[in-house]
Structure 1
Amino acid sequence: MTALFGGYALASAVATLIARLLPVDRADATAWGMNLSFLAFAGVALWCFHEPRVARLMLLVWGGTAALVLALYLLGMRP
């Protein structure tokens, strides 16, 4: 469940943060964010099945997602 839902949540947060922080047009930043989110999701999903300690896995995946969402909240809307 963490590999599927946590990986998706983390990849979504990564895509949104990349789209928010890149200093290019919104469409280009969104495209870059979405392209890189596929790599993030694949990497997290593979790592989830490789990691032997479930507690550390869940802490890093869900904690990383929470940290990225908090960073997005603190950045606010893009002008």
Structure 2
Amino acid sequence: MAMRCVTALIGGYAAASAAATLLARVLPGDRAEATAWGMIVSFLLYAIIGLWSFHEPRLGRVLLCLWGGALAGVAALWLLGTRP
């Protein structure tokens, strides 16, 4: 249960943060507006991730989805580079 709590808190934050940053990077328009939308979506996504991580019966699937999603988001951001 402790591993599930740590994964939900830290892994969920990492996945939501990577998704929010990626969303702010790919949204068209002004940087400030794209960042604001990314932040708004990140709060909802973090709540959904936290609830799902305690609902899912398999801890391995939770670990894979959260940490894998966070790493995939960071890799996509690294490949995209800085915003022109």
Aligned mate of 1:20, from 25, 38, 41: 25
Number of residue-to-residue matches in the alignment: 79
Q: Which runs of 5+ in 1 are unaligned?
A: none
Q: Which amino acid aligns with 2:22?
A: L
Q: Which runs of 5+ in 2 are unaligned?
A: 1-5
Summarize the alignment of residues 1-79 of structure 1 with structure 2, pairs less than 5 Å apart: 1-79=6-84
Find runs of 4+ consecutive structure 1 residues off by over 2 angstroms: none
Cα distance in structure 1, aligned partners of 2:79 and 2:20: 16
TM-score (norm 2): 0.92
Cα distance in structure 2, aligned partners of 1:57 and 1:2: 8
Percent pairwise identity: 65
Shift of 1:14: 0.8
